[in-house]
Amino acid sequence: MAHVVTPLDQPSNYKDSQSRVDRQRQHDLLSKSTTLYIGNLSFYTTEEQIYELFSKCANSEDGGGIKRIIMGLDRNTRTPCGFCFVEYYTHAEALASMKYVSGTKLDERIIRCDLDLGYKEGRQFGRGKSGGQVRDEHRQDYDPGRGGWGAQAQRLEAERRREVEERYADAQDGPGAVAGGGGDWKETERPTQEVRKRGRSPEDEGDNARTGHRTRLDDDMEADRM
């Protein structure tokens, strides 16, 4: 029977590029899966916040509950990069989260949930060139909850700034550049000032001695007239 509206608890058509499972086998595994992939998270959302939200669909009375949460990490910095895996004890709990949690807001962001084949070691790391998720590698918009600009846009901006700095440095060192601080002018003034303040010569000493002797003779003659 065809559905007019797609059921909310149906998995997407996503297939892990690194998985060797064929489509039919994947469908069979998802029909029993207790693991959810959670996407579009903020880099600042904590594991405690995720646990609080997804525990609303847990059914501990029937032996269920959240088994564990695996935070997605940047491959290089080992910091959260916007996704996680939530493992329940039962398949029904995972389906309930697909119905009631996927599409709601967490940290002012609409999150999405999808059934997953199951967590394996290494899948917690981003696969983008810069270490994060591939979607953030090519993103052109500014998203403050996911590190600002995309990684590719950040690299282009860094290259542009470096080129501007190099051109500015070449302009300062090239011909016709303005001398900085007037240092060259001060250096040319110093020899003139030193010439004006030359030392005393032996001739100056002789002139001073003769002048002093003449002054004493004049004083003696004035004393005789008195």
Bridge pairing between strands 109-110 and 66-73: unpaired
Task: Say which residue the tokens 């020899």 belong to.
Answer: 191
Residue 169 included in any domain: no
What does each C-alpha distance from 40 to 44, 152, 185, 214 come to in angstroms?
12, 19, 62, 105
- pLDDT at site 75: 95
Per-residue pLDDT, averaged over 44-71, amounts to 94
- pLDDT at site 174: 62
Residue 34 included in any domain: yes
Give the CA count within 13 Å in the CB-facing half-sphere of 200: 6
- pLDDT at site 205: 55
Per-residue pLDDT, averaged over 161-168, amounts to 82
Residue 16 included in any domain: no
- pLDDT at site 226: 45
Number of domains in the chain: 1
Residue 28 included in any domain: yes
Residues 35/91, Cβ–Cβ less than 8 Å: no
Q: Rounded to an integer, what distance in angstroms lies between the CA atom of residue 183 and that of residue 68? A: 68
Q: What are phi and psi of 46, to 5 degrees?
A: -95, 165
Q: What is the overall mean pLDDT for the chain? A: 81
User: What residue type is assigned to position 24 of the chain?
Assistant: Q
Sign, CA torsion 85/88/90/94: negative
Bridge pairing between strands 109-110 and 105-106: antiparallel
CATH number of the domain to which 63 belongs: 3.30.70.330
Q: What are phi and psi of 5, to 5 degrees?
A: -115, 130
Residue 137 included in any domain: no
Give the model confidence (pLDDT) of 86-106 as tens digits.
Answer: 999 999 999 999 999 999 999
Residues 117/30, Cβ–Cβ less than 8 Å: yes
Residue 164 included in any domain: no
pTM metric for this prediction: 0.66
Percent of the chain scoring above 90 in pLDDT: 42
Residue 201 included in any domain: no
Give the model confidence (pLDDT) of 102-156 as tens digits.
Answer: 999 999 999 999 999 999 999 999 988 888 888 888 888 898 999 888 777 777 7
Q: What is the 3-state secondary structure (H, E, C) of 193-220?
A: HHHHCCCCCHHHHHHHHHHHHHHHHHHH
Print the domain residue range for 38.
Answer: 23-126
Higher-confidence position of 32 and 193? 32
**Lookup: tokens for 124:** 């917690």
Which DSSP state fits 18? T
Residue 216 included in any domain: no
